[in-house]
Amino acid sequence: MLSKLELGKKLRTLRELKGFTQENISDHISMSQKTYSLLENGRADIKMGDLEKISDFMGISIPDILSFNEKQVIHNIQNSHYVGQNFFNTEEMPDWKSEIEQRLATIEEKLQLIAE
């Protein structure tokens, strides 16, 4: 079973990778941004209904949220670079390659900070 802090870290990382703000998600699930922040910081319990709404909003199944692995994300990103809320193959969009590589480096830095 995940601790509140572990689940919160997963939610924060996924939110950031998807390009959402806490306000985007808290508005969608009818929760204050402050309360949502408490969830991400492991300081509040999440209700199953709220987790379902978050899952729906992010387009990620609950099992995928719970089993989310930061190292696997880095591998996936390296094979299908992430920009905004869409994945692009760098071979198909060579003009974006530099920007994508910069965003990948930023995401990897965030994942390292979270892992610490």
pLDDT tens digits, one per residue of 63-78: 888 888 877 766 665 5
Domain spanning 4-66, CATH class: mainly alpha
- For 13-31, write each residue's pLDDT tens digit: 899 888 899 999 999 999 9
**What residue has token string 């719970």?**
66
CA dist 70 and 76 (Å) reads: 10
The bridge status of strand 82-83 relative to strand 86-87 is antiparallel
| pLDDT given at position 42 | 94
Per-residue exposure over 57-73, b if at least 16 CB sit within 10 Å of its own CB, e if not: bbebeeeebeebebeeb
* pTM of the full structure: 0.63
**What residue has token string 């969608």?**
28
> Could you give the percent of the chain with pLDDT greater than 70?
74
> Is the pLDDT reported for residue 114 higher than 80?
no
The domains of the chain are located at: 4-66, 70-115
Considering only residues 89 and 52, tell me which one the structure prediction assigns the higher pLDDT. Answer: 52
